[in-house]
Amino acid sequence: MSWLSGVLAQGVGVLIGFVLTLILLVLLVYDLTQQKHSVLRNFPVIGHLRYWLEQLGEYFRQYFFANDREEMPFNRATRAWVYREAKDEGGAIGFGSTNDRREPGTLLFVNHPFPVLEEDRLPTPPLVIGEGACDQPFLARSVVNISGMSFGAISRPAIQALSRGAGQAGCWMDTGEGGLSPYHLEGDCDLIMQVGTAKYGVRNPDGSFCPEKAREIARSVKAFEIKLSQGAKPGKGGVLPGAKVTPEIARIRGIPAGEDSISPNRHPDIANVDQLLDRVCSLRDLTGRPVGVKTALGDESFMSELCEAVLRRGVQDAPDFLTIDGGEGGTGAAPQTLMDHMSLPIAEALPMAVDALRSAGLKDRVRVIASGKLVTPARAAWALCTGADFVHSARGFMFAIGCIQAMRCHTNTCPTGVATHNRRLQRGLVVEDKATRVVNYVRSLNRDIDMIAHSCGCRHARELGRQHVRIVETAGRSVPLNVLYPGA
C-alpha cells in the first residue's frame, strides 16, 4: 500500500508539473505574440512581475517605504492619530514630534502666556442655523460633523455605524447626494439631506425635482443642502459604477439597478446665482427647514455674485449656510485631472468666502461650514480661527470606522467593508464597535479643539480668531493668519 501511495503521489506531482509547464508555455506564446505591452513582448512571462509590483507599489510604500509625514493623501502620522482617538487610546506621544515645524504651510498656534484656567473655561456654545428665516431652525450642537458620503459610495454597515455614532455623539450627519436611506435613520441623529445635481431621493422619474418627496423627507431631517460642486470633482457630477448600484440603492435614488449612476455636472434648472437663491427660498418655504449650499471655489467671483444678489434681494433670501469644500479631493471617485488641479484648496477658499460674507455684512446670517482634509484638531481649529462656524469631515470618519487608505473606494473591493457592497467584505465592519469609534472620534476632536483654544487664552473654541494662528511661509519664518488675510 505504501508503494502504491508513493506512485500515486509521484504521479500527481508529475501532473501538476505538466500543467504548470503548459500554462507557462501558453503564457510565453501569448506574451510574444500580443501587441499591446512592449515589456511583455521583450520579456515574456517575467515581465508580468513589473505590472504586479506596480499595482502593489502604493500598498508597499504605505507600510514600508514612506515616512510618517510624507504619504498622500493622508500620511501615516495623521491616520495613526485618528485610529488611536477612535479607539479611545489617547493622543499623547513621547520624545518629540515628527512634524517638521519649518515646512511651509505648517500651522503654529499662538500660546497665551496665561492660558485659561480650568474653572474659567466655558463649554463651546451651539449655534442655530436658519434662525428667523425658516419655520424650523436647526440647533447644531457639535463643531465637528460628518460630511456627505452617500449610501452607494459607502456601504450599509458604514452608514449604520456613522448614524448610530452621530446620534450618541450629538453631531449631525450629511447624507451625501445618494438620497436618504433607512440606515441613515437608525441612529436617530441630526441629518442634513443633500440635494445633488441628479436630485436622488427627491426626483421624479424624468430627473426633475419632486416637491412631494422633499416635503416627506423634511419630516426626518434637520436641513437641506443644495450641492453645486464638491472638492473631489468640481465641474463634474458624481459617478457610481453600475456594479455598486444594487436594487436597494437604485430604489432609494430612483434610478435603474445595475447601471452607472451618473449625475449631471450641474443642476439643469440652476444656471445663475438668482436661480440658485430662488431654489433655496422655494425649498425652504416648501419644507420649513434651513437650506444651504455646498460648493468648491475657483476664485472670488461666485462669492461676490452671491453676496451682491442677496443684498439686492434682501437678507431673507440668503442661504442659511454655506459649505465651502476645498479642492483637496474627497471620498468620491473622480478624474485625476480634476482632483489634482481643479478649484482652490481650503486654505485659500475658506478665508475668501468668510471675508466676502463679512464685507457684505452677512456673516451672522449665513453659517459657514469648512470641509477639506480637516481630520485633526489643529486643522479644525485653524478653520474656526479663519471664520468657519463648523467643520465637516468625511475621510476622517472613514478612518474612524476602519478605512486603511487602500484607495479602492470606486472598485467595490474595499478590504475593510467601508466602501463595498460585497457582503463577505462588509462582514469585517462590525456596526456596534465602529459606532463607538465614531463617538470617540467626535468627542476627541471637539475636546482637543477646545484644548487649543484654552492654550490660546480663549474660554471656548468660538472665541478663536485669525490672530491665534500663524502659518509657516519659509523655514524659520511664520506669519500671523490675520496678516496673510486681514479680513473685512
Buried residues in 271-309 as b, exposed as e (16+ CB within 10 A): eebeebbebbbebbebbebbbbbbbbbeeeebbeebbeb
Q: Note whether residue 468 is domain-resident.
A: yes
Q: Note whether residue 373 is domain-resident.
A: yes
Share of the chain above pLDDT 70, in %: 89
For residues 245 and 369, state if they share a domain: yes
Pairing relation of β-strands 223-227 and 291-296? parallel
Residue 378 neighbours by CB distance under 10 Å: 17
Question: Domain total for the chain?
Answer: 2
- Altogether, the residues listed in the chain come to a count of 488
Q: Residue holding cell 461650514?
A: 369
Residue 73 neighbours by CB distance under 10 Å: 13
Round to whole Å and give the CA distance between 412 and 420: 4
Q: Note whether residue 100 is domain-resident.
A: no
Model confidence pTM above 0.75: yes
72-81, 147-156, 378-387: lowest mean pLDDT where?
Answer: 72-81
The grid cell for 378 is 489643529
37-51, 83-97, 287-301: lowest mean pLDDT where?
Answer: 37-51
- Range(s) of the domain holding residue 198: 118-484
CATH, residue 317: 3.20.20.70
The pLDDT of residue 128: 97
- For 389-439, list the strands marked E by DSSP: 390-393
For residues 295 and 429, state if they share a domain: yes
For residues 61 and 123, state if they share a domain: no
For residues 40 and 141, state if they share a domain: no
For residues 193 and 323, state if they share a domain: yes
Round to whole Å and give the CA distance between 329 and 332: 8
Alpha-carbon 258 to chain mean position: 25
Q: Note whether residue 346 is domain-resident.
A: yes
For residues 27 and 162, state if they share a domain: no
Which tens digit of pLDDT belongs to each residue from 14-30?
A: 778 888 888 888 888 88
Give alpha helix (H) positions in 146-300.
Answer: 156-169, 211-217, 247-253, 273-287
For residues 57 and 132, state if they share a domain: no
Q: Where a domain ends, among 40, 65, 90?
A: 65
Round to whole Å and give the CA distance between 125 and 137: 16
Q: Note whether residue 476 is domain-resident.
A: yes
